[in-house]
A and B are shown apart, each in its own frame.
Chain A
């Protein structure tokens, strides 16, 4: 391709030959990506592909308004390149990851620190940023946190009770998933995809399935796409209910907290009606769905869904009614829309800052091409807004499910999977309940996976949490953390 079009256009859930992805020298490539981002694009993924001793950078940029993705790659290079993050903060974690995985230094990167690996003093970070000042003290939390929660390390720089700076170091759950994909897919691959982030099984499994189907040039049967959409919304309902309960628990509002704890279990049991496993394991497979919803089962599902939705409605109503809850939620952990856009937030935290970004709406694949869920947005950017967006999504997912469970398409849910084409790149974006899940698959000459990049929505959003805490009281940290509810293992892979 000519230098004037350094990117190829692609829609979600499709593939294109590796050779057709335009390449440019890395300096130009970085500049071009920067101007795409300036034009209104959003960086969905930026990663490196090793080529011998050198590495190529690959960028997938999403244009939400146009429902299109642009993909580009750099020529192989080694040692160093000019950092994109210098002017585009949303790329900072991606470039750090490229540095850690491939060793190339992004020059001018404002925060070049490891992402996951241990360099002697614990995973990631190395030296924590220090704020100078007589009254500053540090608070180090983690990795083992006080409740039943995943491990991560938070280093606060506090002046008394106020947080001046927060640095988050993750990587404690690094299991080596991406490394294990090379040469795959193997017997264990789909199970590893389901457990990238155990509470987002459907989202990650769907992204993986769509990527492999795109590589084979096929699509799953319509009934399977319908089932996947239903399972995705059930997953969303379960997790949002759990989040509302957890937020209520953090402000000591027990009616909602105890009710939602139970109702979340009810939603998980709905998924179990569908496939036997409360988290949806074993349902989504490349090529289709392993299980189907017969009429009797569908009837049972619909009935119990109605009961659970009524319960969560009531529990949330109590939450909005209580002045003490509103007093804690409003104004806490505020992020404005400009910051959210600059750091590239996705999912409910982004929508809670007023950004209209939803993968089901912007880049629909599968059943979302035929049935829409309205995007839930709230402008304020504080904990209240994030809770409110979750509640709106609960209601809208509930309506979507009621509508879809009336009748689904005919056909078999199981489909076949064609062999993956050689030297092909496929992209699949799925709007999980935390936000955009992005899987990028690249095959080698034999049709085996050469590089598989997983970007969990938490990869974009952890920076948002670190920013939202600035200037807040440290005692509001659990509340802010729950309001984002990011995945530690999805980040760590």
Chain B
């Protein structure tokens, strides 16, 4: 949008404390509290000791700050099977995340590029079905995929899950890249063909360097999505390589023992930390990612 300063003609408003402003900012303040309060409650709870939690008010700040729940959540909390905390899940998630993000983005970016610049007979139909695939409930495809992975010997393995993430990330990422590449002037592609570059030459020398921002957007989208996944993790891996979300659920919702709310909250925060940090660091790009993925879908 152009930066057109609007020059008011009438008399300048006298005060910022107009009824309109009080109402507007008041409403926004209440809204902000609704959204931010749960995060606040989590943080204060995770810093309290259990006796204080049992007696006190969830909104009250901790009288005595303790980091013990965090330490316990990370290294010794029990999932019912083992007691080495979330750290195992964290590293599992990292190991799942890196190849999944890489593979899904590579494939989707090549798809998007091929769909825009190298249309072949039926390519549009494949793309339409691919997009439609984004709306099929996962439950419909879950079991046959179990069979496929078993046949390939990948069931319960990390690479099986990587493959699943690549497949289910494909529709939205392909759409993202296709939309981006179709905004690149076609003449650029034509010029490169005259210059003798082929399919891969144009991809690596012309398209890839231009698409860096959209790669970042895709990365944010995928890191968040894959890190937050629960369903595929629980189905396609086995307990010792469960991703963090699955482990978190097992820790918090395990029926054995006394509920340690402070440890649970610390564990929950730890799991949410990666996407949260990514969200606050990436800021506008995150918004752009979800908007690009959603609006044009």
Pairing of A with B: no
Chain B interface (Cβ within 8 Å of chain A)? none
Chain A interface (Cβ within 8 Å of chain B)? none
